[in-house]
Chains A and B, each alone.
Chain A
């Protein structure tokens, strides 16, 4: 079975500048896929090539077996929801949503029927005759969504769909999008810079930087097993330790780190050799902090509380090790208490389960 969307060797150059550098990607039918990256990483250019607004400098794009690389946007079975929504200001909601169908030549009666159905799906039926300047941002977004979906495209592209919404609306819209996608079974490709958005929405994520994919995988894979420093740092926070491999076991390895002043255990993921210098990474929430030295086999490092912050549901600590290195720790505030658990300059012990740390491939 061939993949639904195949991106093969796609590059885009603007003069001397390479925006997208020889990327390959396969997306399955019915997936909700996100391309995640900072500004300037090339994700928007890639999206526009999928839509047909940019012609690739080299490479091929296939959708459902058809080579669409040089197809114009009006010929492709792809529709896009623009970041600015691009709702036509001189047409009311119904006319906006009907636009695509009119261009297809669909009869007026059928158009009206389908427009009504779609407006129900996005809950805009009462606002059918309003003009865009009479709508809120969230409502305009739904018009843009309805307008694109009504054409039953094979692929829907979304450019930063949640960027302009406030937090509460964002959460609601996130789930609405996921529901609609599930119900209609259309393949969604989302482009975003917001890691939370990508993690919540998507079945799979591609992390992009400097025109290339750094890692492609499920949210869990990306979070728990980041490929390299960039990915580890981009999603959430990360602590890294550099060290020399001392023991290579079946599944675990041991690394001596000067920064920690200790021998650390980590999950071995690739072939490493004794004596090799590598980096291991461990997430703040995987680290336990205690005043007493834990008496088990876990990794265990001494440190001093450098700074702390209370966030309601959790507390953040910055622990200073003997070497001066700062380790970030996050712990759930499971118990309610008046007094703080730790104070500045308290002596503490950090520990984590051996497999909580991963080796960063590079």
Chain B
């Protein structure tokens, strides 16, 4: 292979002799970079700072990080409180568990769907994909609201079951973890299907047929040929569901009820109801630490995907 060429317009601009064009390159990098530093990165530093403060009855409601004589006045009170209070531990665990269950269900439902779409003819495929994406363009809040109508005691599901004679009394589905799970799977299913589809699209149907022709059973053909192809998409899809699902607020609130123990909800409540900014910040920091590993994995997986398809 001929040595790869330098990067086109931008590569040339790094030649010292072309300093004038170098200015444009610097500007093009600087503007988004600065924006992100200020509005994405700096806020995390601030959360950290506030998580090390104490709540005060003032505006803003947290103690300054440095005393008037300049010495640091930070403490780990909030973190030790979090670690000692069993309720928080339970909440974090429940959030992880719910996120895992959601991811699993999305995978179980989404994988066959993505597979089916990838196997369809090109014309059908585009229509099917469009139908997957269409709900995504409709307000997420309204879609969750739709489930409220379906699942409550006078809702469609209960009415149907009573009409069918399966039950006499309406089932309490709303305000349960089950309802939360349904809502989560419903909202995040496209995030699982799309990356999976992108991986499976490259599948060569002839390979699978050839394998079976040579005597492989259906499941062997799947594991040896289809799965390696689908792996990057699966990883991406799982992480794209798991990470945001961990911190979900709206769905647990509306479908699980205002008292359901999920970390997104707890954070919101500490912040608004209790006005305890430092504690809310600490909750956020711990959540972030739990998510750091999946986030890094996702970025690595995405980088690998780009290399593969290039």
Contacts and interface: CB of A to CB of B under 8 A. Distances in A.
What does DSSP make chain B's interface, helix, strand, loop or mixed? loop
B68 to A, nearest CB: 56
A165 to B, nearest CB: 21
Contact of B15 (A14, A48, A70): A70
A163 interface: no
Contact of A39 (B1, B5, B6, B17): B1
A48 B5 contact: yes
Interface string A41-83: 0101100100011110000000000000011110000000000
Given A53-B12, A72-B12, A14 B3 contact: yes
Q: How large is the interface on B (under 10, 10 to 19, 20 to 34, 35 or more residues)?
A: 10 to 19
Interface of A: 12, 14, 17, 19, 39-40, 42, 44-45, 48, 52-55, 70-73
A53 B1 contact: no
Give the most central of B3, B4, B15, B18: most A CB within 10 Å: B3
Contacts of B15: 55, 70, 72
A12 B3 CA distance: 10
A46 to B, nearest CB: 11
Interface string B126-169: 00000000000000000000000000000000000000000000
Contacts, number: 30
8 contacts: A14-B4, A39-B2, A40-B1, A45-B3, A48-B5, A53-B6, A55-B15, A72-B12
B3 A53 contact: no
Nearest to B1: A40
B17 A70 contact: yes
Contacts of A44: 2
A72 B13 CA distance: 9
Interface string B19-61: 0000000000000000000000000000000000000000000
B1 A54 contact: no
B277 to A, nearest CB: 51
Nearest to A52: B12
A42 B12 CA distance: 20
A265 B3 CA distance: 43
A45 B5 CA distance: 8
A39 B15 CA distance: 27
Nearest to A54: B6
Contacts of B18: 72
Given A54-B5, A73-B12, 10 more contacts: A14-B3, A17-B3, A40-B1, A42-B2, A48-B5, A53-B5, A53-B12, A55-B15, A70-B15, A72-B18
A358 B53 CA distance: 89
Most buried by B among A17, A52, A53, A73: A53
B12 to A, nearest CB: 6
Contacts of B17: 70-72
Secondary structure at the A interface, as helix, strand, loop or mixed, is loop
Contacts of A19: 2-3
A289 to B, nearest CB: 41
Contacts of B2: 19, 39-40, 42, 44-45
Pairs A-B, 10 closest by C-beta atoms: A70-B17, A19-B3, A14-B3, A44-B2, A55-B15, A72-B18, A40-B2, A17-B3, A45-B3, A54-B6
B203 to A, nearest CB: 28
Contacts of B5: 48, 53-54
In this complex, which of A14, A40, A55 has the most chain B Cβ atoms within 10 angstroms of its Cβ? A55
A12 B12 CA distance: 15
A17 B4 CA distance: 11
Contacts of A52: 12
A72 B15 CA distance: 9
Contacts of A14: 3-4
A84 to B, nearest CB: 13
Nearest to A45: B3
A87 B62 CA distance: 62
Nearest to B11: A53
Contacts of A54: 5-6
A40 B2 CA distance: 4
Contacts of B12: 52-53, 72-73
Nearest to A15: B3
A306 B17 CA distance: 63
A53 B15 CA distance: 11
A72 B4 CA distance: 19
Contacts of A70: 15, 17
A42 B5 CA distance: 12
A139 to B, nearest CB: 26
A251 B2 CA distance: 42
A83 to B, nearest CB: 11
A193 to B, nearest CB: 11
A44 B18 CA distance: 23
A139 B282 CA distance: 66
Interface centre among A19, A42, A44, A54 (most CB of B within 10 A): A54
Nearest to B2: A44
Contacts of A12: 3
A55 B3 CA distance: 14
A272 B279 CA distance: 91
B2 to A, nearest CB: 5
A70 B14 CA distance: 12
Nearest to A17: B3
Contacts of A42: 2
B54 to A, nearest CB: 54
A73 B12 CA distance: 9
B74 to A, nearest CB: 46
Nearest to A12: B3
A143 to B, nearest CB: 21
Nearest to B21: A72
B79 to A, nearest CB: 46
A191 to B, nearest CB: 11
B105 to A, nearest CB: 44
Nearest to A19: B3
Contacts of A40: 1-2
Contacts of A72: 12, 15, 17-18
Nearest to B15: A55
A53 B3 CA distance: 13
